[in-house]
Each structure stands twice: as structure tokens, then as C-alpha cells.
Amino acid sequence: MFGAYGHTGKFVVAELAARGFVPVPSGRNPQALGKLADEHGLEPRVASVDDPASLDRALAGTVAVINCAGPFAATTGPVIEAALRAKIPYLDVAAELEANLDTFAHYRERAQDAGAVIVPAMAFFGGLGDLLATAAMGDWAAADEAHIAYALSSWHPTAGTRLSGAVSRERRGDVRLRYRGGQWERRTDAAPTLRWTFPKPMGPREVIGEFTMADVVTVPQHLSIPDVTTYMTAEAVRDVAAPHTPVPTATDPNGRSDQTFLVDAVVRSGKAERRATASGQDIYAVTAPLAVEALERVLTGRTKTVGVASAGEIFDAPDFLHALAPHITLDLHPQNA
């Protein structure tokens, strides 16, 4: 577990332990690492992306690595390289568009040739939406459009979210990315404000359209859909953009905040439409069962491919989503075509 002592990393460590794994917490901060390890009775291994030998020592004797350390622009490459040297699967929870694009571009052929498994964005952003869109597709071989809309009751960003966002904006410059006609477009105009009709009881909400998230990277990697768009409720966008929005605060014994979410995935082909939705509590906390369920399936061979793969490509999407039943409320109805 690289980046084990971060906000999301702590949820993942707890989920791993609860499911019978023995996590090996790793990261560059020995104090934070030691505190986490003491709380769980684990063996910490200090490592830094600037020191490949330390990463090799951290991964020695382990069966896989989950990378929760942002900014992922700096960590994905070194940790993937260490995983390839160790010949173990790699998963991360990266939401940075550029980092995810880099992973697919730089490692697809190498991982395929080596028979290695690399699953980027195995998290709330990137993984869950991809699984929902894949499940909604059902038996369709292709679709014209995919739309994934997020309704968050609030969005109190972690320090890691803010840092990753800053790095992503620095790499991208004064442009935003949009996926149209099977290609990435670099836009300088403002993202549109729209109304999205979420399933009842939520109903119509103001959203920021073309609020491009990691799903717009993961979905087209394996689904034949030329137009992929993500949306975010306007209130959540205002929260995450405001410099003084506080970090998440635990409100239950599991450490979750009181934030709620609904993810609405819609695919369209001609006049036909199919939809899948998931709702739950705390986008950071729900990343843990997503990542750990993925890890368990990789280790037990319940996968459909090797190489760099999106969640919906490597796993049976409906079955995976149903396995998350304790953590999300799911509604799959691809028959509504």
C-alpha cells in the first residue's frame, strides 16, 4: 500500500485488513507511516518514488501494490516500474486525467507483452463510472454517447485532491479537455451549465457540463463510444473550487463524512437509451471497497484480460457492482432501451 497514510489510503488499509489481507503500509513519511502501522499492528516500509531501490524493498515479498499516493503524475510511473520489476499486479486510485492517459499510453504494450496487470483509476472517479457505463451497455457492441453525471451533496476536498488538481491544471494549462468524435479536444471556453434529470427522488439539478473526470479516460479505452461526457452538480463544483472549503470530517464509526453521492450513467445508441445508477456515502471511503474488490479479483484470476485495463474491461461489470452491495445502492436496468 503506497501512500497508505493519506486520507483515502487509510480507508484502503482498513478495508484490506477487514477482508483478511495483511497490508504492508509504505510511503515517504516515516512518522505518519509509523503511526498508521502501530494502529493496525503492521510492518511499515519507508519508500520514495525518487529512490527505486526503496520501492523494490517495499514491494519485496508482496503479491500486489495499490498506489494511493498523489500527485499521481509523480508516483504512477515509478511505482508501476517497481511493480513490473517485482512481477506483481499494480492498481491505483488516480483521478488525474493526465496521469491516467500516461499510464495507458506508456505501459499498454509493455504490460501486454509481460502478461502484467495494471488497473489505473480503480476508484470512485474512473472506476465506478466505468463499471456503471459498461453494465448499462449490456449486449451493445457500440453506442453513440455515454454520459456520467455526479450528484454530490457536498465536496470537501482532501489535501491530496487539492494537490492533484493543482498538478493537473499546471500540466494542462488554461484549457479543459473534452472527448468528442473519438478524439480529445482542448477547449478554452467555459464549461456549460446545464440541467440534468437524476433518477427520483433527486430529480433535476444544475450541473456543470463537460466537467471532465477520469471516466472520460477509462470508458473509451475499451467501449466503442465516440462521445463521452461527465457532469458534476454545481454545488459540488463550487465547494471543490473554493480555497477555504474544509477537509472531510468523520461523522460515523467508520470514519466516513456525511457526504452522499449518486452516479448516473447513461448510454445512448440512436433513439435507445440505457441507464445504471449507484448511490452511497463518502466518495473517498467508497474507493476502498472498489480498490480492494478489484485486488481480490485480480489475485483470484477473475479477470478478462491482461495489460493496462479499465475496470469495466478487466472485470465482469454487473457482477463486480453487485459485490459492492454493502457499500452502494445499485440500480441496473439496461433493458430500458
Q: Which tens digit of pLDDT belongs to each residue from 136-167?
A: 999 999 999 999 999 999 999 999 999 999 99
According to the model, what pLDDT value does residue 245 have?
97
Most distant CA pair in the chain, distance: 57
According to the model, what pLDDT value does residue 337 have?
35
The Cα 108–Cα 212 span in angstroms is: 23
Residues of the chain with pLDDT under 50: 334-337
Contact (Cβ atoms closer than 8 angstroms) between residue 307 and residue 108? yes
According to the model, what pLDDT value does residue 302 have?
98
Predicted TM-score (pTM) of the model is 0.96
C-alpha cell at 239: 465547494
The Cα 150–Cα 237 span in angstroms is: 10
According to the model, what pLDDT value does residue 210 have?
96
Q: Which tens digit of pLDDT belongs to each residue from 196-231?
A: 999 888 899 999 999 999 999 999 999 999 999 999
The Cα 295–Cα 303 span in angstroms is: 10
Nearest by Cα to 81 from 44, 106, 99: 106
